[in-house]
Structure 1
Amino acid sequence: MRIKFFGILIATLLAVSCERNIPMTENIPETTPQVMVPESGTVLKGYIRVKMDEELTDTASLGRLFPDLNIVSIERTFPYCGKFEARTRAKGLHLWYDISFDPNVPLTKAATDFTHLEGVQYVEFIKGIRPTEVPYPFNDPQLSKQWHYYNPGSEDGKYLSGSDINLFNAWEVNTGSSDVIVAITDSGVDWKHEDLASNMWVNEAEYYGTEGVDDDQNGYVDDIYGYNFCFTSDGAFAGDISPENHGTHVAGIVSAVNNNGIGVCGIAGGNGKTQGTRIMSCQIMTEGTDKANNERAFKYAADNGAVISQNSWGFEDPEYFPQSLKEAIDYFIEFAGIDENGIQTGPMRGGIVLFAAGNDNVSQAAVAMYEKVMAVSAIGPAFRKASFSNYGKWIDIAAPGGTQIGNEVYTIRSTIVGNNYGGMMGTSQACPHVSGIAALVVSQFGKVGFTNDMLWDILISNTTNIDEYNSAYVGRLGSGLIDAYKCLSKEGPNSPNPVSDIWASSISNAITLKWLVPADVDSGKAFGYDLYYSRRSLEDLDPDNRSDDVHLVSCRTGILDVGDTVSTTLRNLAFDQTYYFRIISYDNFAHRAPLSKQISHNTQQNNNPVITSKNGTSVTLKAFETKKLAFEISDPDGHDIIATFEGGSNAASAARNDNVITVTINGPYTSAGTYEAILTVSDPYGGVTNQSISYTILPNTAPHVIGVPNNVYMKNKSESVTLDMKNYFADDDGETLTYEIASSSTSIIVKPTFNEDILTLQGNWFGTTTLTITAKDALGASCQTNFTVLLRDGKQDFDLYPNPVSDVLNIRMGEEQLVDIAIFTVTGAKVFETKGNVSPFHPVQVNTTAWSAGTYTVIIKFDNKQIRGNVVKL
């Protein structure tokens, strides 16, 4: 039976950028419902949340009302809830809807469309709040790429704050212990990897023993870092571990060495001073074969000290689960951490077996569905189910595994073979997150009496609810997203201290709130906060029964310490209004402190956006030229800016790059004249600024001839001649000209090539041709000149052509000469004579039409020389 791993290696990711037109949108009227944006740039694109009247809750028609939004889905924010539906409707929660649409559509455009729809009560952008600057706890250079450990969110909404395992807080409690051994039942782990070697399990009896001998008498020879249970071609066990990427990647997530100044971090990889959790490689798959004794791997791991079995693999047939494998798994669960006498010798009595749920996006999977193993599903960086992850009520828990959305991939960073690092995605990557956290829990609480059942309960009981992001998979992704910090915390009876003081400041319709992290007797500090705000007093606020005009946002303390400042900004509030605020702090077990005292603060008026010219607002250019003007756009209130452009002619266009608008004037695109363009910038609240741009395009001046090339005489085919076109053509506009050349001869006498203004003529065939050169400017205006090229054999003193001749005979000299020419019949009779200058371009022409057919002798005398040749008269 074939097995398969649940990881996907990402080799290459190509990105394509393109210039775009300036987006256009309508202005939002003054009656626009308030929209809460917790922090600049962190709003989730492609999503809004609206509250509608009862009459509008027929969502099937909304997509047809707004075709420009390309609506993907419309779902109730609070889904149907059975026996609690009546009270849900009584509170009006069924009127809230989450609307997903094309993320390229501006949020302000979507908000405008819905606020114009009668019956819409509220429009909200979707996003939580988070602290600002975050120091990384260890010096591993690629830790910042491991979003799955700490995810601060991203401006484009593709990463949502908190969609991680909350590892940084957990590391303040425990970073892993070498007393804990995790069996990586997978392809082989690279035990020599620079970021894994220090945390590898080492069988010292074999390491220091005799090669080829079972020194510890455990039934396996030379099993130093584990064992390779794959079969070789002759049916024997391979024995020696063969390092491969998949197993090495999984191992790095569990326990790559931390704080060593290289590579990545592992969840239970230590702190640089103390060793982390140890990795045992139990290889069951290798390149070239997927056949192995998987069952032996579990028993080997249990008998040699492992208490956690990490498995990111499964069978292709989801119904295939052999009894032998089931019994081997049961053996590990029962006897891991226990010696042959039934005495607990490990940090935990009994073992835990974790399996990846699989990557087929289906509701079943072999092995992972077994009720005694912990099945792990995968989520992406925005709390949503990974596109590939299997699902079902048999899933126990979720963890980050990366995802793929269209052509974009979000991977998990870890170790791969050969001291390298790479990204993979899959439930193969999600599962070792839970195994690593399990190792932290056993490191923290492990002792005689600590059991695998206790560990199981801790893991599945300390999660973050992700149902609101996965309404189609409620109850089918496990108990939630695992939270490492919660798993290491002990529930105490006390709630955190209340938030004592709140400071507020405002810019335009945004209010920034700050407060100090309060202490907690049980866990040291508050875990998170519920922030309530409204335009009416909150003195009588009941947090459990708030009215529709009281808004709530939540955030976590993250890695801030007691006394540090939490800061968040509420945006898109109403202008010139008073808002009231109260905050509740809570711990990681949802014990809530009393409400803070109420404070109030006013928003300010809206200010228009600003356009600043960087190199002028007018330009004059020649007809062939292209010139650019740059404008910086900004908004004093920090609002989003919409820019539009009216060019005045086809010559003007505009492109936006962040907050710089580049206006390009292309002279050739329109006729001469003076034009005006208008650049307009606006905010979503009606603030508008216009900038006039004047540009003048001068009339085009055609090129003209300033000289005629001399005729070219070439004496052999290998000869070449160069001519500079600047000596023959000029353009008063100063533009660069292009050239074309035509020949009067059907034979290719010379081969012409242009390199900018330089023409090269390469000899090719004997003969004469007239070359015509045409010079053109950018607008196509042109002029031309011509000259003659003669290519002859320079070794000959003269030429007689055509030969034979029927009418006119040409007599041409190789050099200009004063000559005497006489022509005789075969009997010696003279039929022609002349005297004069003869040159290559000025031959003597003799009319032979009256001559009889036959052979004639031509005698030429010059410089005391005499040469002769024969010609045939037809």
Structure 2
Amino acid sequence: MRLVRFLLLLSVCLPFLEVQAQVDYRKDAIYVRLQPGQTHTAISTNSLEPQSPDLLQSVFNTYGGISFTQAFPGVDAFKELYLLKFSQADKIENLISDLNALEFVKYAEMIPVPNASSVKREAGIAQVPGDMNDDLMWYIGQINMDWDLPLNLDFKVKIAVVDNGIRLSHEDIASNLWVNPGEGKYPDGIDNDGNGLIDDIHGADLADSNGNPDVPSSASNTYFGHGTKVAGIVSAQNNNGKGIVSVGVNAEVMAVKVVPDNPPNNRDDYYVAAYEGVMYAAMKGAHIINMSWGTPVFSNTQKDIIDFVLAQGIILVAAAGNAGSNEYIYPAAFDGVIAVGATDDQDFKAPSSNYGPYIDVMAPGVKIYTTLAGSDNAYGTETGTSMSAPIVSAFAGLLLSQFPTKADQIELAIKKGCDNIEINNYPIRDQIGAGRINIHQSYELLKSGKLSVATQRSVQNIRLYPNPNAGVVYVPNEAHLSSLSVYDLNGKLVSSVPVQNQQADLRFLALKGMYLIRANSEEQQYVARIIFQ
């Protein structure tokens, strides 16, 4: 018994699987944001003028430009944001440097490509009769699901699963698929809603630019199966005598595929169109967007996309990642996103789960029984924060269906209703968010009407001086900052340093050039750009 207790304690104290999260960037495209009020006509290889005085076109020519187009046409908030596709991948840093030197360019940056947030690809097991099996679906009891809740069947919650595709014909998913009202129920080969995607009836494939979010024919239980696993947790059909149950209680699933059918090196976790998928879901009226993927790289553009979607009142849920470390993973670490870590059946943090100050809540994420993509009646288990996030998305959907006028209180209710699991995770007790979710307690809090919504931190520019700088940065006293985080222009975290006596000493970093500074106080999020000499 002493040995067992020692091992349990060791599992909390040691950073198991603490490895650097994989970093990928697009090699064929970058984001270019022009200064406010600046726009530019689209450029392509067919529209080039050999002797054009246009500085942007000159850079385009130099680096084998293919196209320069608005990233999100028709969205006013992103009218200055462009996607530049080019052929000279080995010169991407030079391209970005040349673009950032142009006065009318606010910034140019590489595009981080997120990866899936699951750690085990486990083969399917035999289907069990009925919806509910207490042993296989242990987490349902763990989070205190109350099946006696009075259900509001008049309000259908739409939960977007932005992932690597969903097996649309799966017996436990098909009946709960969202239907695009602009397209109708049946394909007709016409782009009826005018969004550039033909027959995007149940969602879309943003990676391959078509209306079919189904998994490719090569999909199996372990290949291109991630999104199907997530979708089952979000909204498997309840009371159909098959497979599994979902706490989402028959929410509608919007399928948004963001990995191409033929990904580089057969990597089905190459989420190249992740944020385009988030924008698609937002434009199609999703109430909740599940993002079981992430990257350790901060991106200005991707943060702007998240902020835009949050401003529409949409609930965003993201997996915290599986490096077993306190490394920040985005989009989970963006303000306003519900960041979810994973626990086991004893309420210990799962060894692979990330932790840290950006975590909002914990949810079960070890051997989660769900739907698989290998066949229409395949089921099996998966481990990782990828599975924890959709449990929270389904939970948020359940609460929203019961209290559709209280969308702005859902996140707070989820946090306030959590069970305290600090005693099981004492060494990291301040890095596991509010605790492990508890459905019944959160429901009762919303029902009571006693919740008050906390004010979101606003984003504000801060003046750091001197600028240019030799390494010691002075911070205004009124900001009340205890630390600064330094990022390069590609959005990669360089270092976090303490602020003492209104100054941060960065000389040990030997920085040269322009960097982005970010910092948080209780009320504000501060950003600044500074040049080091």
TM-score under structure 1 length normalisation: 0.35
Say whether the 8 Å CA contact 2:124–2:372 is kept in structure 1: no
SS in 2 for 1:473: helix
Partner of 2:379 in structure 1? 421
RMSD: 2.4
Residue 209 of structure 1: how far off its partner (Å): 6.1
Partner of 1:250 in structure 2? 230
SS in 2 for 1:414: strand
Equivalent AA in structure 2 for residue 259 of structure 1: N
SS in 1 for 2:140: coil
Seen in structure 2, the aligned counterparts of structure 1 residues 230 and 491 have a Cα distance that, compared at 3 Å, is closer
Equivalent AA in structure 2 for residue 184 of structure 1: V
- Cα-to-partner distance string for 1:253-292 (whole Å, 9 max, x where unaligned): 11100010011111113xxxxxx21000111125542253
**1:277 counterpart (248, 251, 260):** 251
Partner of 1:332 in structure 2? 309
Partner of 2:202 in structure 1? 225
Residue 383 of structure 1: how far off its partner (Å): 0.6
Say whether the 8 Å CA contact 1:188–1:248 is kept in structure 2: yes
Aligned counterparts of 2:171 and 2:383: Cα–Cα separation in 1: 22
Partner of 1:353 in structure 2? 316
Equivalent AA in structure 2 for residue 428 of structure 1: S
Partner of 1:7 in structure 2? 118
- Cα-to-partner distance string for 1:368-410 (whole Å, 9 max, x where unaligned): 11112110000001010001000001100000001xxxxxxxx
Aligned counterparts of 1:177 and 1:266: Cα–Cα separation in 2: 18
Aligned counterparts of 1:248 and 1:254: Cα–Cα separation in 2: 10
Partner of 1:312 in structure 2? 292
Aligned counterparts of 1:492 and 1:175: Cα–Cα separation in 2: 13
- Cα-to-partner distance string for 1:679-719 (whole Å, 9 max, x where unaligned): xxxxxxxxxxxxxxxxxxxxxxxxxxxxxxxxxxxxxxxxx
Matched, 1:400 2:511: no
Within 5 Å, give how 1:748-787 maps onto structure 2. Answer: none
Aligned counterparts of 1:456 and 1:11: Cα–Cα separation in 2: 31
Partner of 1:484 in structure 2? 439
- Cα-to-partner distance string for 1:406-463 (whole Å, 9 max, x where unaligned): xxxxx0000011221010000000111110110011001003xx333x1111111110
Partner of 1:293 in structure 2? 273
Matched, 1:443 2:401: yes
Partner of 1:240 in structure 2? 212
SS in 1 for 2:179: coil
Partner of 2:160 in structure 1? 183
Matched, 1:149 2:152: no
Say whether the 8 Å CA contact 1:176–1:439 is kept in structure 2: no
Partner of 1:199 in structure 2? 176
Seen in structure 2, the aligned counterparts of structure 1 residues 481 and 174 have a Cα distance that, compared at 3 Å, is farther
Residue 293 of structure 1: how far off its partner (Å): 2.7
- Cα-to-partner distance string for 1:52-89 (whole Å, 9 max, x where unaligned): xxxxxxxxxxxxxxxxxxxxxxxxxxxxxxxxxxxxxx
Seen in structure 2, the aligned counterparts of structure 1 residues 176 and 327 have a Cα distance that, compared at 3 Å, is farther
Residue 171 of structure 1: how far off its partner (Å): 4.6
Aligned counterparts of 2:248 and 2:391: Cα–Cα separation in 1: 10
Aligned counterparts of 1:142 and 1:308: Cα–Cα separation in 2: 27
Aligned counterparts of 2:275 and 2:330: Cα–Cα separation in 1: 15
Say whether the 8 Å CA contact 2:340–2:363 is kept in structure 1: yes
Matched, 1:214 2:172: no
Q: Across the two proteins, how many residue pairs are aligned to each other? A: 317
Residue 139 of structure 1: how far off its partner (Å): 4.3
Equivalent AA in structure 2 for residue 8 of structure 1: V
Residue 308 of structure 1: how far off its partner (Å): 0.4
Aligned counterparts of 2:423 and 2:271: Cα–Cα separation in 1: 42
Aligned counterparts of 1:242 and 1:209: Cα–Cα separation in 2: 15
Matched, 1:468 2:448: no
Aligned counterparts of 2:347 and 2:152: Cα–Cα separation in 1: 25
- Cα-to-partner distance string for 1:769-798 (whole Å, 9 max, x where unaligned): xxxxxxxxxxxxxxxxxxxxxxxxxxxxxx
Aligned counterparts of 1:179 and 1:492: Cα–Cα separation in 2: 19
Seen in structure 2, the aligned counterparts of structure 1 residues 145 and 210 have a Cα distance that, compared at 3 Å, is closer
Q: Which has the larger strand fraction?
A: 1
- Cα-to-partner distance string for 1:300-354 (whole Å, 9 max, x where unaligned): 2122121101010012xx1x2322222222222112xxxxxxxxxxxxxx11111
SS in 1 for 2:232: helix
Matched, 1:412 2:368: yes
Partner of 2:478 in structure 1? none
Equivalent AA in structure 2 for residue 250 of structure 1: V
Aligned counterparts of 2:421 and 2:400: Cα–Cα separation in 1: 26
Say whether the 8 Å CA contact 1:175–1:268 is kept in structure 2: no
Aligned counterparts of 1:463 and 1:398: Cα–Cα separation in 2: 9
- Cα-to-partner distance string for 1:135-191 (whole Å, 9 max, x where unaligned): xxx9415454100101xxxxxxxxxxxxx1111x25534487762100101111111
Aligned counterparts of 1:389 and 1:173: Cα–Cα separation in 2: 34
Equivalent AA in structure 1 for residue 207 of structure 2: C
Residue 200 of structure 1: how far off its partner (Å): 0.6
Seen in structure 2, the aligned counterparts of structure 1 residues 195 and 224 have a Cα distance that, compared at 3 Å, is same
Within 5 Å, give how 1:697-712 maps onto structure 2. Answer: none
Matched, 1:379 2:343: yes
Within 5 Å, give how 1:474-873 maps onto structure 2. Answer: 474-490=429-445
Say whether the 8 Å CA contact 1:177–1:268 is kept in structure 2: no
Equivalent AA in structure 1 for residue 358 of structure 2: W
SS in 1 for 2:431: coil
Seen in structure 2, the aligned counterparts of structure 1 residues 327 and 311 have a Cα distance that, compared at 3 Å, is same
Residue 216 of structure 1: how far off its partner (Å): 1.9
Gaps of 5+ in 1: 15-137, 151-163, 232-236, 270-275, 336-349, 403-410, 494-874
SS in 2 for 1:442: helix
Aligned counterparts of 1:469 and 1:424: Cα–Cα separation in 2: 23
Say whether the 8 Å CA contact 1:227–1:240 is kept in structure 2: yes
Aligned counterparts of 1:203 and 1:356: Cα–Cα separation in 2: 27
Aligned counterparts of 1:490 and 1:257: Cα–Cα separation in 2: 27
Aligned counterparts of 1:142 and 1:175: Cα–Cα separation in 2: 25
SS in 1 for 2:193: coil
Q: Which has the larger radius of gyration?
A: 1
Seen in structure 2, the aligned counterparts of structure 1 residues 491 and 372 have a Cα distance that, compared at 3 Å, is closer
Residue 217 of structure 1: how far off its partner (Å): 2.2
Aligned counterparts of 1:378 and 1:294: Cα–Cα separation in 2: 22
Seen in structure 2, the aligned counterparts of structure 1 residues 216 and 437 have a Cα distance that, compared at 3 Å, is same
Aligned counterparts of 1:192 and 1:210: Cα–Cα separation in 2: 15
SS in 2 for 1:183: strand
Residue 296 of structure 1: how far off its partner (Å): 2.1
Aligned counterparts of 1:210 and 1:426: Cα–Cα separation in 2: 36
Say whether the 8 Å CA contact 1:377–1:389 is kept in structure 2: yes
Equivalent AA in structure 2 for residue 463 of structure 1: C
Aligned counterparts of 1:171 and 1:303: Cα–Cα separation in 2: 34
SS in 1 for 2:138: coil
Residue 212 of structure 1: how far off its partner (Å): 2.6
Residue 477 of structure 1: how far off its partner (Å): 0.8
Matched, 1:433 2:391: yes
Aligned counterparts of 2:350 and 2:302: Cα–Cα separation in 1: 28
Aligned counterparts of 2:192 and 2:124: Cα–Cα separation in 1: 48
Say whether the 8 Å CA contact 1:175–1:440 is kept in structure 2: no
Q: Percent identity?
A: 32
Equivalent AA in structure 2 for residue 384 of structure 1: F
Partner of 1:370 in structure 2? 334
Residue 8 of structure 1: how far off its partner (Å): 3.3
Say whether the 8 Å CA contact 2:201–2:211 is kept in structure 1: no
Say whether the 8 Å CA contact 1:376–1:398 is kept in structure 2: yes
Seen in structure 2, the aligned counterparts of structure 1 residues 492 and 366 have a Cα distance that, compared at 3 Å, is closer
- Cα-to-partner distance string for 1:191-221 (whole Å, 9 max, x where unaligned): 1110011111011442446633111223422
